[in-house]
Amino acid sequence: MLALSISNLKKQYSKGPEALKGINLEVKQGDFFGLLGPNGAGKTTTLGVLVGLVTKTEGQIKVFNKDLDKSPTEVKNSIGIVLQEINLETFGKVEDSILDQAGYYGIPRSKAKPKAEKVMKMLNIWEKRNALNRQLSGGMKRRVMIAKALMHNPKLLILDEPTAGVDAELRIETWNLLKRLNKKGLTIILTTHYLEEAEYLCKNIAIINHGKILLNTSTKELVTTLDKETFILDTDKPIKNLKSKEFKIKITDTNQLELTLAKKDNLNKFFHFLDKHNIKVLSMRNKQNRLEQLFLDLIKNRRSK
């Protein structure tokens, strides 16, 4: 079953850009899905539409087969959302914040209490139940946010940049927590700027830029692609026929060929192979593939943050 299906989603802000230009996405039940993209790509807008914070201009959204337009309450009840900003009542107690959230979903206090205990224990914040929110560390606060989002038993948990501005230790703690939740069967979608976050957590990834999905693939596939490097080599003589079982080569011009190697492979072996065929290399350069370029852009963007 699909946890989420988005077809031709468009959003034109009245005083702003066309933030989404016809997005199509599918997320399977049980998936851990990452939506990656630089600042302003359209990630938050997409999530905003899903949880009713942003009105779409066009398109169809289904959550566990329920149409957002036809069954907004059912859709809302099946989603838990953790926004980027931590918005907890400063002087409120941890347990009260969590119980109040259940109240917004019409869950009576008597039912919410044991549920809150279960959730707090699972997230390792049970000891902190009587602390004031303001006394918590950043990581603990985020756990309280996650606890709130889980109170109404959502089947889909959405997190907007869950580790933005979080130090390395807390990031790993949050990652492990999310992995555990996913293992228990919860479908998770997160947005992130960090490729390594998506690599570590997500089974599937979509890359969004300027309101369009550029790439939608499994993380495994993506990592394999990123592990390869392509070189362009100019040779001293025309090459008509050069075949190899070991190397992936393509003759691109009379005196030019393209070689694709896994990053761990040794380039020297290839030069020996060319030597055997009496071919000399006059010059060589790295061919940047589209995907690598895309990620370089993402990384550059991350550094400038």
Contact positions toward ligand ATP, by CB under 6 A?
Answer: 13, 15-17, 19, 37, 39-45
Least distance (Å) from ligand ATP to the CB of residue 193? 6
Least distance between ligand ATP and beta carbon 104 (Å):
23
Q: Which is nearer to ligand ATP, 213 or 239 (CB)?
A: 213
Nearest residue (CB) to ligand ATP, 16 versus 106: 16
Residue nearest to ligand ATP (CB): 16
Cα atoms in the 13 Å half-sphere on the side-chain side of 117: 5
CB of 9 to ligand ATP, least distance (A): 12
Distance of CA 243 to the CA centre of its chain: 40
Cβ neighbours for 73, distance < 8 A, ≥ 6 positions apart: none
Q: How far is the CB of 260 from ligand ATP (least distance, A)?
A: 32
CB of 189 vs ligand ATP, minimal distance in Å? 13
Q: Which is closer to ligand ATP, CB of 55 or CB of 110?
A: 55
Cα separation, 131 vs 128, in Å, equals 5
Judged by beta carbon, residue 119 or residue 205, the one nearer ligand ATP is 205
266-275: b or e for each residue (b if 16 or more CB lie within 10 Å)? eeeebeebbe
DSSP string for 4-55: EEEEEEEEE-TTS-EEEEEEEEEEETT-EEEEE--TTSSHHHHHHHHTTSS-
Q: 36 vs 88, which CB is nearer to ligand ATP?
A: 36
